[in-house]
Amino acid sequence: MIAALLVLVATAAPPPAGGCAVVEISAEGRGAHGATLVPHSAAHRLIRALDRLPAWARTSEPPRRQRIVALTAAGAVNVIAPRATALVEVSLDGDGSDAEAVLRELRAALGPDVEATLAARPCGAAGNAADGAGADPR
């Protein structure tokens, strides 16, 4: 018998030069029981918008770093949530004073199916798996 062990280790990425902003991206849709067909659910809308993030980050001037640090939707497997939300850390220039301009660019890139706002949460706050919180120290 062959046994294998897979260990996933989250590593903390260094903060971007100039800092970053946390953007909350959310989508609304019809909530329903999980057995109901809802092709344009909040989660589907959010996923389609988040799929546009890498292209936006690459083509932005200057290119931006972005990382999705949290996703929330339904709290149970048999529920289609009426709202889905992602928190995304986005790099900023210099002193970070360009946050509103970056937010406008991001909104245009994500499309009309989602809302994007600056979150009142600092980048790299404790508790993110992406920041290494709770990571295996090996």
Domain ranges (residues) in the chain: 20-131
**Most confident option among 4-8, 97-101, 115-119:** 115-119
Mean pLDDT of 110-131: 73
Higher local confidence (pLDDT), 5 or 54: 54
pLDDT of residue 136: 32
Q: CA 77, CA 61: separation in Å to the nearest integer?
A: 40
Q: CA 46, CA 23: separation in Å to the nearest integer?
A: 13
Distance from the Cα of residue 55 to its chain's centroid: 14
Q: What are phi and psi of 70, to 5 degrees?
A: -160, 145
Mean pLDDT of 48-67: 93
**Most confident option among 58-62, 74-78, 113-117:** 113-117
**Contact of 65 with 124, CB cutoff 8 Å:** no
Please choose, from the candidates 1, 42, 20, 45, the residue with its C-alpha nearest in 3D space to the C-alpha of residue 118: 20
**How many other CB atoms sit within 10 Å of the CB of residue 24?**
16
Q: What is the CATH number of domain 20-131?
A: 3.30.70.360
- pTM (two decimals): 0.74
